[in-house]
Amino acid sequence: MNIHEYQAKELLKSYDVPVPVGGVAYSDKQAAQVAVDIGGSKWVVKAQIHAGGRGKAGGVKLVHSIDEVKKTADAMIGSHLVTHQTGPEGALVHRVWVEQASVIKREFYLGFVIDRATQRITVVASSEGGVDIEEVAKAAPDKIVKEVVDPAIGLRDFQCRKIATGIGLKGRLMPQAVKMMKSIYRCMRDKDALQAEINPLAVVSVGEEEKLLVLDAKFNFDDNALYRQRGITDLRDLAEEEPKEVEASGHGLNYIALDGNIGCIVNGAGLAMASLDAITLHGGRPANFLDVGGGASPEKVTNACRIVLQDPNVKAILVNIFAGINRCDWIALGLIQACNHLNIKVPLVVRLAGTNVDEGRKILAESGLTFINAENLDAAAAKAVAIVKETAL
């Protein structure tokens, strides 16, 4: 689960991590009021959407008057911001974050991830801030420093000092960096975050002093741990998620919309991916990824059909079930229920295998409905692709 920048900054603030003084606003008037309240002479107005790449897309503006704050907020709120991560339709901006502008001296990257190779939280930092860390990793891997954290001992001061030194945070900035890293580590662990990314982390001038400040922050939380993270769950913004995916997850289904025309209903993530691959290899284009999961009831299968059919591009549905903990008879009953209730007009290609396969096939055969049976994965994909090609002619 992702959260907005303003939520991330508020979360970090609660861990004593320095963030700019600012506030969230849902209207131009509110934005102006925030600017008045926080004071200063220069502000940054930032569109709040989950997707990255806001700066280049015009979603981050430096302004010099309260009037400009108002105008900028007015232009942003209600607009669709198109970034390289949103797709061409963009993301609707519901709110902006207004903060005091900082005098930035230098920018850094500071990330906390769960590294799959070491299976531990790893701190990744770079003297190259404000840019894509993947690009830095490719172009200048020597500019990236890493520290792996032993979960039994936690992130130690000396590790933080190594990182600080590695990216050039010296003198009076070093103790600030140590404190900040330890706080973010604690936050990540307390809140079951998968990832915390501070990019950029900045050295800013405050009068004569230099201090560290978080200019942008991204968090990604573990969906599997939300049951014990009430405060985090409350931060979820459903408007940022694909409505069909939200509906599917409410039914215990894992659905991802794609841009093809063959709807897919499969059990198990691996087989679901392989089914999409098989369709693609036969020259077809899958409309979605859908995993019905284990122990799928007939109702769950009916819901799966309904969600897949909400996509108007779907010209045929491929049902591929290899039942282990599932039951083919329940799947078959669900398909019949779906046909009876949903007025399905597109052909259904059905491949059943595994637990109770004979019962499942019998139920389909005796239903009086038309299902196109397939013996195996290859045949199922081939038939679905052929049907879609025929209907296109």
Partner 1 sequence: MSVFVNKKSKVIFQGFTGEHASFHAQDAMSIGTNVVGGVTPGKGGTMHLGLPVFDTVAEAVAATGADVSGVFVPPPFNADALMEAIDAGIKVAVTIADGIPIHDMVRLQRYRIGRDAILIGPNSPGIITPGECKVGIMPSHIYKKGNIGIVSRSGTLNYEATEQMSSLGIGISTSVGIGGDPINGTDFVTVLKAFEADPETEIVVMIGEIGGPQEVAAARWAQKNMSKPLVGFVAGVSAPPGRRMGHAGAIISSESDTASAKMDTMEALGLYVARNPAHIGQTVLQAMREHGVKV
Query: In the range 52-81, which residues lie near partner 1 by CB under 8 A?
Result: none
Which residue among 38, 82, 92, 271 contacts partner 1 (CB under 8 A)? Answer: 271
* Residue 281 near partner 1 by CB under 8 A: yes
Q: What angle, rounded to 10 degrees, do the helices at 173-190 and 5-13 form? A: 110
Q: What minimum distance in Å lies between the beta carbon of 231 and partner 1?
A: 16
Please give the single-letter amino acid code of residue 338. A
Percentage helix, strand, coil, to 5, in the chain? 40, 25, 35
Which residue among 154, 228, 243, 365 contacts partner 1 (CB under 8 A)? Answer: 228
Cα(111)–Cα(82) distance, integer angstroms: 25
> 152 or 238, CB closer to partner 1?
152
* Residue 386 near partner 1 by CB under 8 A: no
Which residue among 117, 238, 392, 393 contacts partner 1 (CB under 8 A)? Answer: 117
* Residue 47 near partner 1 by CB under 8 A: no
* Residue 273 near partner 1 by CB under 8 A: yes
Q: What minimum distance in Å lies between the beta carbon of 149 and partner 1?
A: 9
For tokens 């502008």, name the residue: 101
Cα(344)–Cα(307) distance, integer angstroms: 12
Cα(306)–Cα(342) distance, integer angstroms: 7
* Residue 89 near partner 1 by CB under 8 A: no
Q: How do 22-25 and 96-100 pair as beta strands?
A: antiparallel
Active-site pick, 5, 128, 197, 240: 197
Cα(226)–Cα(8) distance, integer angstroms: 16
Cα(192)–Cα(281) distance, integer angstroms: 39
Cα(54)–Cα(346) distance, integer angstroms: 40
DSSP string for residues in 356-386: THHHHHHHHHTTSS--EE-SSHHHHHHHHHH
> 178 or 272, CB closer to partner 1?
272
For the chain, the farthest-separated pair of C-alpha atoms sits apart, in whole angstroms, at 84
* Residue 140 near partner 1 by CB under 8 A: no
Start-to-end Cα distance in the chain: 42
Kindly list the distances between the CA atom of residue 78 and the CA atoms of 68, 87, 364, in Å, as whole numbers in the listed order.
17, 17, 49
* Residue 148 near partner 1 by CB under 8 A: no
- 247 carries an active-site annotation: no
Q: Which of 36-44, 63-71, 124-132, 353-361 is the region at the interface with partner 1 (rule: CB under 8 A)?
A: 353-361
Q: Which of 36-44, 89-97, 139-147, 319-327 is the region at the interface with partner 1 (rule: CB under 8 A)?
A: 319-327
Closest to 347 measured CA to CA, from 378, 321, 374: 374
DSSP 150: P
Cα(193)–Cα(2) distance, integer angstroms: 10
Pull the structure tokens for residue 142: 């020597």
For tokens 């901006």, name the residue: 93
> 231 or 270, CB closer to partner 1?
270
Q: What minimum distance in Å lies between the beta carbon of 40 and partner 1?
A: 36
DSSP 238: G
Which residue among 40, 84, 139, 151 contacts partner 1 (CB under 8 A)? Answer: 151
**Coil vs helix vs strand at 265:** strand
For tokens 């502000």, name the residue: 43
> 92 or 271, CB closer to partner 1?
271
Q: What minimum distance in Å lies between the beta carbon of 326 and partner 1?
A: 9
The phi, psi pair for 371, rounded to 5°, reads -120, 140
Give how many residues touch partner 1 by CB under 8 A. 56
* Residue 295 near partner 1 by CB under 8 A: yes
> 48 or 267, CB closer to partner 1?
267
- 197 carries an active-site annotation: yes
* Residue 45 near partner 1 by CB under 8 A: no
Which residue among 280, 297, 337, 367 contacts partner 1 (CB under 8 A)? Answer: 280
Q: What minimum distance in Å lies between the beta carbon of 355 and partner 1?
A: 5
* Residue 390 near partner 1 by CB under 8 A: no
* Residue 162 near partner 1 by CB under 8 A: no
Q: Which residues does the annotation mark as catalytic?
A: 109, 197
Contact residues for partner 1 (CB under 8 A)?
85, 114, 116-117, 119-121, 134, 150-152, 189, 192, 194, 222-225, 227-228, 254, 256, 258, 266-281, 286, 289, 291, 293-295, 322-325, 353-355, 376-378, 381
